[in-house]
Amino acid sequence: MLPKVVIHNSISLDEPLTNFEPNMELHYRIAGNYKPQVHLIGSNTVKVGIELFAKRRDTPPSECTGDQLGEDKALKDYHAKRDFKATAEPQGSDEKTKGTSKIFVVQEHQARRLHYDFRLERDGVLKSWAVPKGIPENTADKRLAVETEDHPIDYAQFEGTIPEGQYGAGTVTIWDKGTYETKVWNEKMIEFTLHGKKLTGRYVLVRLKRGGDKNWLMLKGKE
């Protein structure tokens, strides 16, 4: 039988729960109104889950799914794919970036297939795309850029070998890095100016309508 935890409305939302086990059934009771339940999927998600929930008071608890209660909502997918005992990739710290200039990085990733990971700092994470054929250097180039999970900011410093059997196994080297300025950032299009060593000037990412919402085209803009 799954263990159960009853959270009363009097509980301190900052208080970590002990004895948590994966797939524990969690019953909420907030202000006596709701008695919903969620199945938590991680091993240490409870505390953060409750914190998130506290922030989501506007949302009826019955609408909170396990996914919404991720350990670190911003990097949930990133964490889920990696075993940090096996890989030297950064776990990501809570440290917020200082200053206003945003960084970009391109990492050459010699994985099962060579590709270039293009990352732009935004909202405390690195928004990321895998660009199989490399970043366009001419205005005539159109390159597929497949959106991947957000990475922690300190991933921009990462170079090294991800061990065999781990997600993204292979070698990562920094191909270019620098700062960038956003001109446009919406659901359909991102336009920005790069200030790197190899890459400079205007670039555009356009979301493709077909092929799922993870596929973008990366173009070098005319100056």
Binding site for Mn ion (CB under 5 A): 109, 117
Residue number, 164 or 223, with CB nearest to Mn ion: 164
> Do residues 188 and 209 make contact, with C-beta atoms less than 8 angstroms apart?
no
Cα dihedral: 123, 126, 128, 134 (round 10): 130
Compute the least distance from the CB of residue 142 to Mn ion, in Å. 20
Residue number, 82 or 109, with CB nearest to Mn ion: 109
Compute the least distance from the CB of residue 5 to Mn ion, in Å. 38
Compute the least distance from the CB of residue 64 to Mn ion, in Å. 31
Compute the least distance from the CB of residue 204 to Mn ion, in Å. 22
Residue number, 76 or 115, with CB nearest to Mn ion: 115
The Cα 193–Cα 205 span in angstroms is: 11
Determine whether 94 is exposed, middle or buried from the number of CB atoms within 10 Å of its CB (0-12, 13-18, 19+): exposed
Tokens of 219: 């173009």
Residue number, 5 or 86, with CB nearest to Mn ion: 86
Residue number, 71 or 117, with CB nearest to Mn ion: 117
| One-letter amino acid of 65 | T
Q: What are phi and psi of 5, to 5 degrees?
A: -125, 130
Compute the least distance from the CB of residue 111 to Mn ion, in Å. 6
Calculate the alpha carbon distances from 213 to 26, 113, 119, 147, 189 in Å: 33, 22, 17, 8, 12
